[in-house]
Chains A and B, each alone.
Chain A
Amino acid sequence: MSLFQLLNGATFAALLFVVASGFSLIFGLLRIVNLAHGALYLAGGYIGFTVAVHTGSFALGAAAAMVAVAAIGFALDQGLLRFVRGHELREVLLTLGVAFVLNDMALVIWGGDSYTVPIPEALRGGIRVFGVFYPKYRLFVLGAGIVIFVALMLLLQCTRLGAIIRAGVDDPEMVEASGINIRRVFLGTFLLGSALAGLGGLMGGAFLALYPSADAEILVFSLAVVIIGGRGSLVGVAIGSLLVGLLNTLGQVIFPELAYFVIFGPMACLLAFRPLGLLGRPT
């Protein structure tokens, strides 16, 4: 694998990290498997694209994508999931229903065409890194992924809120018993996780394009990342993203038509030995 392909894998991994970290945060803390996460990614991408095209600003597009998708997340959590709280499978299947609705609505609004989010002027073109000419925007995605990883790690490890979230992952009842409104923390985490999906949609929309089945593709990758990494572990998500990102790129080089299959083999082997993923812990 050449350096160019290695960078491709790494930048795809960075995007996967942004999307899957939101999924894993929600899964780890709220025990909700949000299968609408892919649809939120696509919705974020489309909304960000529309705003970025009309205002000419990538940053405004990113802000709009995050706020709008967080709002959808709010409606999903407070409007629908509240009716099925505590029933794990009913929650998952409900989010699956939401994914179908969101997806179909996106198809009504934006149609079946493929869109690419315009890249800001400063990030267009390429740059020479370690002797290869590489697109600046993809390096920006890589950087953004790393910044978000560090920011989330700091949030979780070094702040009071992070301590509450980590405690909530282990034992929500005890956190509540110590006088903390865990519901509010849950909601906050749900919104943050959704916003990350929206941001991922905009970031990915600029180099992977947005089209009606993009949500399903990113969802499979995110699932693979979380299945490999283990739920609720940010480091697990980072390792999982890198593995899936690099394997996917490797797969595309070796078997262009069966790239999907290449992430399947390692996932299967891993599950045979660690059913809860690399860093997953039994609850």
Chain B
Amino acid sequence: MTTLGQATPSPPAISSGSRGRMLFVLSLLFAALAVLPLGLSRYQLGLATEMLIYGTLAMSIDILAGFAGRTSLAHGAIFGVSAYVVVYVISTLNLSPVLAIALGVSAATLLAALFALIAVRTSGVYFLLITLALGMIIWGICLRWTDVTGGENGLRGDLRVGILRDPRAFYWITLAVSGLLSLAMWRLVRSPFGLTLRGIRDSESRMRSLGYNVQAHLFVGFVVSGFFAGAAGVLYAFFNSFVSPTTVALAQSVQGLLMAITGGIGTLFGSFIGSAAILTLQNVVSSYTERWQTALGLTFILVMIFAPHGLVGLLRSVLPSQALRAGQ
């Protein structure tokens, strides 16, 4: 089965010592991110918040791409549907934000379950095509179903009320939520369930003959991944207070996947590096030209040709001694 840019065929089992070290590094990083707002402008803080949200989305894509060998192009749509539901429930139905969050995440999870029913029977390029088509259908519906979605104008709502109005508080909340979500995702791929997914990625037929129900595992993997994408979508809805068909468009899925790939497929936390890199690039490019789509496309082409293993893989190939150390 073709998997995308797998830096290491199967990540070495982490001993308890290195797991402790990893947790230590992560908590240091988390502390550094937590004091970040004190030194940033309002604009930079917004960008940092966005990086966290998109990093979470990219990580949810990485669960499937890196650990189950299934590259999805529907996650932007799942993410966007959750955001649509949150904005719709709060601004049009005038219901409580807590209910809106629950409904948003549920809608995304249900949608993921529906997509998974159709997509898990396939793999490789077929999986990509089917998820692409499914995602596009959502986009088509958001564009045409004007009564509910507002069509091309999208939906706007005043979601940032009370403490959420303060960019710092919002950043901290986003940091806490995305931190929790990514820890949950990290736990998931290290669990027996995650190991089974990896087994399926490496050899579907072997797992089947060992008695695993491959499709049921992939189904659950897809649904869980959709749940995380939906959670990221909720954060986005509150961050942006606005959704439009662009939120669910293919470009969203593509950008999320590009972030996961740039960070390194199968590295999980690399998604945040990928998200930071792509959003920084977007900001730099946008200050010179309006042609972000072209830049996104070109970046995709260049990454596919030169760095399919992401920044981590690129560093490893440039520094051979590093690769040796990392391999040990």
Contact = CB atoms under 8 A, between A and B. Distances in A.
A220 B146 contact: no
12 contacts: A87-B2, A88-B125, A89-B3, A89-B124, A94-B304, A100-B251, A104-B291, A227-B129, A259-B140, A261-B137, A271-B122, A275-B126
B135 to A, nearest CB: 9
Which of A89, A90, A92, A223 has the largest number of chain B CB atoms within 10 A?
A89
Contacts of A33: 125, 128-129
A88 B305 contact: no
Contacts, number: 128
Given A89-B71, A89-B128, A223-B136, 11 more contacts: A84-B304, A88-B124, A88-B125, A89-B124, A93-B71, A107-B293, A257-B146, A258-B144, A260-B140, A263-B137, A272-B118
Nearest to A86: B2
**Binding site secondary structure of chain B:** helix
Given A108-B291, A219-B136, A98 B118 contact: no
Interface of B: 2-5, 71, 117-118, 121-122, 124-126, 128-130, 132-134, 136-137, 139-141, 144-147, 249-251, 254, 257, 261, 291, 293-294, 296-301, 304-305, 308
Interface residues of A, number: 46
A105 B294 contact: yes
Contact of B145 (A87, A90, A258, A264): A258
A83 interface: yes
Interface string A16-60: 000000000000000101010000000000000000000000000
Interface in A93-133: 93-94, 96-105, 107-108
A173 interface: no
Interface string A267-281: 110011001100000
B209 to A, nearest CB: 18
Contacts of B257: 93
A267 B126 CA distance: 13
